[in-house]
Amino acid sequence: MSKLGRIVASLPIPHVLRDRVDAQFDCIAPDRHLKTDEVIALANQHQPDGLLISLGMPMRAEHIAQLPASIRVMATTSVGYDHIDVAAANARGIIVCNTPDVLTDATADTHMLLLLGAARRAKEHVRNMDGGWKIRNGFFQGLGVEVTGKTMGIVGMGRIGRAVADRARGFRMPILYHNRTRLRADREGDARYFASLEDMLPLCQVLSLNLPGGQGVLMTAERFALLPRGAIFVNSARGSLVDEGALLEALKSGQVGAAGLDVFQKEPGYDTRLNELENTFLLPHIGSATVETRTAMAELALDGIVGVLAGQSPSNIIKV
Ligand code: 8YV
């Protein structure tokens, strides 16, 4: 098979994908993750047909303006595309692809890990074990709160939100949700729709963020105050959706009883005051980080580039 064109990647290509990539493209790939400016420089040097990029390297309008005219497609190894100005790319004739579906289960699994870790005080118990289990907890010490049976409110009932709901049903958790639009009955199932987030918040013993980023701050001090006291807050979506100062205050006061967070305003180098609190369980944005899922994400991003360069219309083109 003849090669479809040249691509520049901003991230190393794993061994498992190397043969495929080499068969399909003339690929310029680095041995470390590149920054936006480095990718732009490499693209101008090699004049590729496509770019393979990842989260953590913004492609705003000012960056897109610096890309060579040779580029016809850009694929990100993420479902989220809040780091890309898709309209600006499209205006320059660049089609943008992402990786929907393939990371849904891994991210929903991580979401439950965050919930359980926060609710059951995993951080302090792991610390106790790391220290050789010198502290014997008394019968009424080190107690978390039960997850089973608590009411979960989900903001964002897309693929990942629905996968979280499926898992939460296994914990016999009644599901409430807020979404731009109400789901079809077969997708909604027993979940209860709230057109107004403000109306839903007071009922959420667990609040779960599962919506895309790029739409400003959703969780403000006012909205945290609407939760029932002691609610558990879980975010595996985007840190930009949360006023972290307000969350810190709510965690300190006990208004939010515990938080499980995989995403932060600043990544890496997050606000470590969040970790100084006992009632948080934090992970470094590993929602999709399984061998199976990350491989599938890279494959899907590459499939998008292949499809566009072959003159087709792959299903993972982002339409804005
Ligand atoms: C990242 C994510 O892609 O897909 C997304 O939008 O946030 C994650 O799956 C992943 O962490 C690689 O940076």
CA–centroid distance, 228 to ligand 1, in Å, is: 31
Same domain, 27 and 141: no
Same domain, 111 and 61: no
- What local confidence, expressed as pLDDT, does residue 171 receive? 98
Query: Looking at the whole model, is its pTM more than 0.95?
Result: yes
Q: Is the CB of 80 under 6 A from ligand 1?
A: yes
pLDDT of residue 1: 60
Which of 78, 235, 241 most suits a substitution to test ligand 1, by most atoms within 8 Å of the C-beta?
78
Q: Does one domain contain both 149 and 243?
A: yes
Tell me the mean pLDDT in the region 156-181.
98
With 0-12 / 13-18 / 19 or more C-beta atoms within 10 angstroms meaning exposed / middle / buried, residue 218 is buried
Q: Please tell me the distance between residue 160's alpha carbon and the centre of ligand 1 in angstroms.
A: 12
DSSP 8-state secondary structure symbol assigned to residue 50:
E
| Domain limits for position 299 | 5-102+291-309
278 is catalytic: no
Peptide bond just before 268 cis, omega within 30 deg:
yes
Does 287 sit in the ligand 1 pocket, CB within 6 Å? yes
Residues 175 and 243 occupy one common structural domain: yes
Q: Examine the domain organization and report whether 145 and 191 are in the same domain.
A: yes
The 3-state DSSP class for residue 308 equals helix
User: Which of 121, 162, 178, 238 is the catalytic position?
Assistant: 238
Arithmetic mean of pLDDT, 147-169: 98
> Nearest 5°: phi and psi at 85?
-90, 90
pLDDT greater than 90 at residue 135: no
Percent of the chain with pLDDT over 70: 100
In a domain, 314, yes or no: no
pLDDT band at residue 165 under the 50/70/90 scheme: very high
249 counts as catalytic = no
- Residue 212 has a pLDDT of 97
- By the 8 A CB rule, do 72 and 50 touch? yes
- Which one-letter amino acid corresponds to residue 170? G
The pLDDT value given to residue 312:
97
Q: Structurally, how many domains does the chain consist of? A: 2
| CATH code (residue 14) | 3.40.50.720
Residue 139 tokens read as 């019968």
One domain, residues 134 and 221? yes
How far apart are the two ends of the chain, measured CA to CA in Å? 33
DSSP 181: S
Per-residue pLDDT, 238: 98
Average confidence (pLDDT) over 5-14: 97
Q: Could you say which DSSP state residue 184 is in?
A: P
Q: pLDDT tens digits, residue range 41-61?
A: 999 999 999 999 999 899 999
Q: Is 133 inside any structural domain?
A: yes
Ligand 1 within 6 A of CB of 55: yes
pLDDT value at position 201?
99
- For the segment 198-209, the average pLDDT, to the nearest whole number, is 99
> Is the model's pLDDT at 2 over the cut of 90?
no
209 in the same domain as 76: no
Ligand 1 nearest atom to the CA of residue 285, by list position? 11
265 with 127, same domain: the answer is yes
